[in-house]
Structure formats: structure tokens, C-alpha cells
Amino acid sequence: MDQNQSDAQAVKALSGIERSALLMLGLGEKHAAEILRHMGPKEVQEIGLAMAGLTNVTNSQMELVMQKFVDAIGEQTSLGMGSDEYIRNMLTSALGADKASGIIDRILLGRNSKGLEQLKWMDPRAIAELIRLEHPQIIAIVMSFLDPDQAAGVLSEFPERVRTDVIMRVATLEGIQPSALQELDEILEKQFSGGANVKSSSLGGVKKAADILNFVDGAIESTVIEQINEADEDLSQAIQDNMFVFDNLIDVDDRGMQTLLREVSSDQLLLALRGAPDALREKIFKNMSSRAAEMLRDDLEAAPPAKLSDVEASQKEILTVARRLSDAGEINLGGSGGEEFI
């Protein structure tokens, strides 16, 4: 195999985040900084970590990534650029000013918010301190706006009785009026400035509650579900039906599983598989090289007992990677709570 083929395979093996990191390195500090300003906190952190981890990059690999980026940009159109005025005019013409105004608000109003968006750059503990004394309904709205893993961190900072109350409110929250969202945003904006865009005034719901619980510690998750079940069995079951747990990884197709395994360390996998059913283990072994699968089997047999909390923590770390890949469109999680493709 010549060097060009080797470089092409190396680039193909990179994850989407790693290719983005390589592109950033190639653009130089000034241009990379301009791009990062338009990203959210999670994307900045992921790309920053990927940039720090890149080693032994050849000029050929850099050129291949650059070319793929240029090709992708070439396929884009100008549709959707500066479309706010078009949306306003179209809806007003179709529905009349009175009927259109509410719909326009729901579509466009929240997108200039700053206060709520700034929360996404804060540490979960700092957010918890900021909203700790607020009414549980306000806390639920804030939690619904945050990314699930960040919201899970905030939830863990609250007392047990507050956790259950907040999750139930998140699950039964069907949305919030744009004016109320704007008022909350303005209150937060008085305390700090910055941020990008609020995507929608549609917050909360059973799926959001399930997503948050997917990221919390296993003991907290069990307690919250148990307490919700005592108060409302149907709501508890609906939340559980939408949760994606480690065992659900068996529903990921072979190609998706191979993509996921490239992003997971062997130590993480070894610990996580301690609590996995045999069927999931075999699914994972099948999507590894025979040598790697054999080594993992041997390591599992020889490994000493591990704490359940450590196993659950490792499983949640892998699920976090799986959700990131799913959000990026690189794998389809399927299974409980996931969308089916037809």
C-alpha cells in the first residue's frame, strides 16, 4: 500500500469531530477562532479536545480533509440565508396579520435570546446555585432548555425531593409562550451577557425528562423513577419507555456499532461489559477484529470484580459518546425512545 492510500484510510478512520479538529488546525488561529465563535459550548469543548489529541498528522492527510470540506461546501446553496423576512411576509400574506403574528413569534422570537443561552457555558453547579431558589416550574423550564447531560449535572446538585418534582414538571411541560421565555431570558440577561440563539419555545416533555435521567448517576435515576412511579405510574412508565439504556445498544446496526467502538477506549469497554447481557457482548465481539475480540474475552474472564457504580459510570460514558454520534447523524440508535427509519 502506498503512502497516499495509507493517508486516505487514516482520514476515513477519523470521526467527524476529529476531521473538524484537523480542519481547524489547518485554517490557522485567526480563521479557526472566527468559526468557534459560532459554536455552542459542547461543540467547542469536543473540538478542542480532539485538536489536543491529534498527533502525527501528515500534509497529505491535511490536504484530504481540506478537499472534503471544499467539496461539501460546493454542494451547499444560498437557500435559507436571511430568510426571516421571507417567512414573515409569506405567513402574513397567507394567514393575515392577526393569525400570523402568534406563529411568527413561535418560530422567530426566541432566536435572539442571550441569557438562557449563556447558561450552556456554565458549570452545572453554578447553574444550580443560580436557580436553586426559583420556583420548581422555572427550574423545569431552565432544565428543559439545557442539553440533557448538562441538565443531569444540575439535577444532581439538588436535594432528592426537588429532583423528582423538577423531572415530573419537565415531563409534563408541553411548551412555553414566547413572551414568557423572553421574560425569563431578560431576567437572566441582567446577571450576565453573551450567548447565541434559543432555537425554539417548545421545551420539556417526556422525552426531555428521559434524556436528562439518561445522564444522571444510576442511584439518582432509580430513586427519581421510583418516586415518580409512586405519584404517577403512567408518567413513570412513559419516561422509562423513552430512556435509552446501555442494553439498548444491541439495536444499533453493525456499521453503527463499529463507528461507536472506534470512539470508545478499551478500558471503558472492559468495565462497561461487566454488566452487559451475553447478547450485547456477542454483538460487540462480532464488530471487532477477531484478535481484538479474543483479547477482550480473555480480559473479561481474568478481570477482578468491579463496583456496580463504576460499571454504570462507564456505561453512561459510552452512552454519551453514542448520543453524540447519533446527534451528528453518524449512527442510528434506534431502540427505545429512538426514531425509526423507513
Question: In this predicted model, which residue has the larger pLDDT, 322 or 82?
Answer: 322
- Please give the pLDDT value at position 111: 46
| Residue range(s) in the chain whose domain bears CATH number 1.10.220.30 | 113-241, 246-327
CA–CA distance, 38 with 193 (Å, rounded to integer): 16
Contacts 24+ apart (CB under 8 A), 183-192: 184/115, 184/116, 184/138, 184/141, 184/142, 185/110, 185/113, 185/114, 185/115, 185/116, 186/115, 187/115, 188/115, 188/116, 188/118, 188/119, 189/114, 189/115, 189/118, 190/115, 191/115, 191/130, 192/115, 192/118
The CATH number of domain 113-241, selected from 3.40.47.10, 2.40.110.10, 1.10.220.30, 3.50.50.60:
1.10.220.30
Q: Which fold has domain 246-327?
A: Annexin V; domain 1 (1.10.220)
- Please give the pLDDT value at position 88: 64
| pLDDT tens-digit readout, 194-237 | 333 333 345 578 888 888 887 777 778 888 888 888 888 888 88
Indicate if the pLDDT at residue 327 is higher than 60: yes
- Please give the pLDDT value at position 96: 63
* Sole residue written with cell 450552556: 120
Q: Which fold has domain 3-74?
A: Annexin V; domain 1 (1.10.220)
* Closest of 297, 302, 255 to residue 276, by C-alpha: 297
- Please give the pLDDT value at position 81: 46
Indicate if the pLDDT at residue 246 is higher than 60: yes
| pLDDT tens-digit readout, 249-305 | 888 889 989 999 988 888 889 999 987 888 999 999 999 988 888 999 998 888 888
